[in-house]
Amino acid sequence: MDMLQIVGLGMTATILITMLKSQRPEIAVQLSVIAGIVIFMLISAKLMAVVTLLDNYTKKADIDFEFLSTLLKIIGIAYIAEFGAAVCKDAGESSIASKIELAGKVIIMVIAVPIITSLLDLVVKIMP
């Protein structure tokens, strides 16, 4: 049922945006952002359920929550960067969109450094 609501909202917003784009492009972009935020709010409860499930498994497996936290941050940054870039592309600013995507990739790389170093430490310990 949730998916039908999301698709209905998306299709309604798309029709309205298409109608507004030629006459009032600034309102069309704002409507696109608002629709994206509403869709995100509709799925946020589902995301919280996944995070709770993953948290329970990290506790059972005795894995440091910092790793899960870092992975969730990386996923969040990827989604936010993709959303921001899509909004910029919809507004006709593909150059800014590509800069947002680049910034997202760089930030993901920086955040991933602790995980990468932990993996490298593990490899060094395994090797004779």
Closest by CA position to 32, among listed 89, 78, 79 = 89
Residue 113 tokens, joined: 């450094």
Distance CA 113, CA 28 (A): 39
* Phi, psi angle pair for 62, to nearest 5°: 55, 45
pLDDT of residue 62: 84
pLDDT of residue 1: 65
pLDDT of residue 36: 87
Residue 32 tokens, joined: 């696109």
Please give the chain's pLDDT, 128 residues, in tens. Answer: 688 999 999 999 999 998 998 899 889 889 988 998 899 888 888 888 888 888 888 888 888 778 888 988 999 999 999 989 998 888 789 999 999 999 999 999 999 998 899 889 989 998 87
- pTM exceeds 0.75 for this model: no
Segments in 22-93 forming alpha helices (H): 25-60, 65-90
pLDDT of residue 26: 86
